[in-house]
Amino acid sequence: MAKVVKFGGSSLASAEQFQKVGDIIRADKHRRFVVPSAPGKRFSGDTKVTDMLYACYDLAAAGKSFSKELKAIKARYDEIIEGLMLELSLEEEFKTIEKNFKAKMGRDYAASRGEYLNGIVMAKYLGYEFIDAATVIFFDEKGEFDAEKTNAILSHRLTECGLAVVPGFYGAKPDGTVKTFSRGGSDVTGSIVAKAVRADVYENWTDVSGFMIADPRIIDSPESIDVITYKELRELSYMGASVLHEDAIFPVRQEGIPINIRNTNKPDDKGTWIVGSTCQKSKYVITGIAGKKGFCSVYIEKDMMNSEIGFGRKVLQAFEDQGISFEHVPSGIDTMTVFVHQDEFMNKEQQVVAGIHRLAKPDVIEIEADIALIAVVGRGMKSTRGTAGRIFSALAHNRINVKMIDQGSSEQNIIIGVADSDFETAIKAIYDIFVTTKL
């Protein structure tokens, strides 16, 4: 049996946190492959090492002195090393980093050093082999992740060593240039490692005991989710639930490997299990609620639209020509509405409108801004009657006007559009009717 364990930045921010992580790993002999993030915040108001590295490199790229900032980063690692009483020096590593910063090796290289250095410290602390991710995680010339090459080489390397630390967040292009995943990409590395070793479980350790049904910044002490499917997680992650990087799902889903979200500070908590499918029923009809503000709608009307072949394609072509992706496109017989991110659209709105007029020749175009989209997700919705009615009832009771509703054919999610100003109230109303009161 093999487990891959990934630890987030808050789990590795200090020597004390490192010791907690060490205890967790040593408590289970099957936790053989470790993926660390860079040190996060030690306390409120502290700075993450990755942000320190970005700031330090920006000074170097501008030709300014960065020695003070680099020393501050080194001090963070020295503090951890001394606290763990390790016989380890990163002096030569920091000399190399200083040299490469002066040579302007790039922001990806700079950001990756946080995980790289933490990986060296973690490997020394555990007595595991250190494997530089740049030697086993690969991207192509265009910067796209090369899954096939990575899986072949990484699988062979990990099979040989048995116990290893692989830093998260980065890999390398064919010319050796360091390339990072998007922010939070250590989650993705953990998933890639889990696939390579065909792990039984991918444990993702962070500072919360799994997924909550709703954002704790909006709902006070929301209920936790015991089991969630990959599909449900994708919907919630896309709409703002941020416990796990949304791209971390794909490698493990292909192999049927479950993910267990755990809390480093409460290791006895079971956390949340993320699985391909399950016969376990949700505690509530819904699994989770998530949403984002800052959308706008482009309403298009044209008589006999439904009988005009290619009308929708022509409308969407106007958005594509301006490099704008759409979120949802609910439609009627003579109408369709395109929802887009407001910050992407606002500076190109007139070009898009002109494009729609030129390509589709509509009768009416109307634009509305400051819209929030809320996803209500749950595998239990499919077998429960009246779910949409309960949502509308809750929103109407709180005097919230629904601007859009879009239900997927899978019947596992309902997307609701409301005014930005009603966002928090809407989430509270939906949570209350499905979780708190269960009416």
How many CB atoms sit inside 10 A of residue 159's CB?
Answer: 11
pLDDT at 395: 95
CATH 3.30.2130.10 domain locations along the chain: 288-436
pLDDT at 234: 83
pLDDT above 90 covers what percent of the chain? 81
- Asked if pLDDT for residue 12 goes beyond 80, the answer is yes
CATH 3.40.1160.10 domain locations along the chain: 3-207
Is-contact 186 149, C-beta < 8 A?
no
Helix axes 107-126, 49-61, angle to 10 degrees: 140
pLDDT above 70 covers what percent of the chain? 99
pLDDT at 204: 96
Residue closest to 305 by CA, chosen among 326, 328, 336, 329:
336
Mind listing the pLDDT tens digit for each residue in 231-270?
Answer: 888 888 878 777 787 788 889 988 999 999 999 999 999 9
Residue closest to 365 by CA, chosen among 375, 377, 376, 352:
352
- Asked if pLDDT for residue 67 goes beyond 90, the answer is yes
* Residue 31, beta-bridge partner list: 3
Mind listing the pLDDT tens digit for each residue in 106-128?
Answer: 999 999 999 999 999 999 999 99
pLDDT at 22: 97
Alpha-carbon gap, residue 428 to 416, rounded angstroms: 14
What is the CATH code of the structural domain delimited by 288-436? 3.30.2130.10
Burial of 147 (0-12, 13-18, 19+ CB in 10 A): middle
- Asked if pLDDT for residue 132 goes beyond 70, the answer is yes
- Asked if pLDDT for residue 439 goes beyond 60, the answer is no
Sheet holding 404-407, edge to edge: 326-328, 335-341, 288-301, 364-377, 413-419, 404-407
Alpha-carbon gap, residue 232 to 413, rounded angstroms: 8
CATH 3.40.1380.10 for domain 3-207, yes or no, is no
pLDDT at 282: 80
pLDDT at 196: 96
pLDDT at 408: 67
The token pair at 80 is 């951890």
pLDDT at 271: 94
Residue closest to 375 by CA, chosen among 318, 312, 418:
418
Alpha-carbon gap, residue 345 to 108, rounded angstroms: 28
Residue where the block lists tokens 């109408």: 335
* pTM listed for this prediction: 0.86
Alpha-carbon gap, residue 188 to 245, rounded angstroms: 7
Mind listing the pLDDT tens digit for each residue in 176-226?
Answer: 999 999 888 899 999 999 999 999 999 999 998 989 999 999 999 999 999
Q: Which helix (H) or strand (E) holds 274?
A: strand 272-275
| Greatest Cα pair distance in the chain | 77
Mind listing the pLDDT tens digit for each residue in 302-340?
Answer: 999 988 999 999 999 999 999 999 988 988 899 999 999
Alpha-carbon gap, residue 3 to 29, rounded angstroms: 9
Mind listing the pLDDT tens digit for each residue in 367-413?
Answer: 999 999 999 999 888 778 888 889 999 999 999 999 988 876 667 88
- Residue 142's contacts (CB-CB under 8 Å, 6 or more residues apart) are none
pLDDT at 117: 98
Higher-confidence position of 358 and 282: 358
SS3 state at 229 = strand
pLDDT at 409: 63
Instruction: Determine the average pLDDT of the residues in 21-27.
Output: 97
- Asked if pLDDT for residue 361 goes beyond 70, the answer is yes
B/e letters for 387-412, b = 16+ CB within 10 Å, e = fewer, are beebbeebbeeeebebbbebbeeeeb
pLDDT at 46: 96
Backbone phi and psi for residue 426, each to the nearest 5 degrees, phi listed first: -65, -45
Output the DSSP codes for 340-389: EEHHHHTTTHHHHHHHHHHHH--SEEEEEEEEEEEEEE-GGGTT-TTHHH
Residue where the block lists tokens 């410290």: 121
Mind listing the pLDDT tens digit for each residue in 212-232?
Answer: 999 999 999 999 999 999 888
pLDDT at 275: 93
pLDDT, the chain, mean: 93
Is-contact 161 135, C-beta < 8 A?
no
Alpha-carbon gap, residue 370 to 400, rounded angstroms: 14
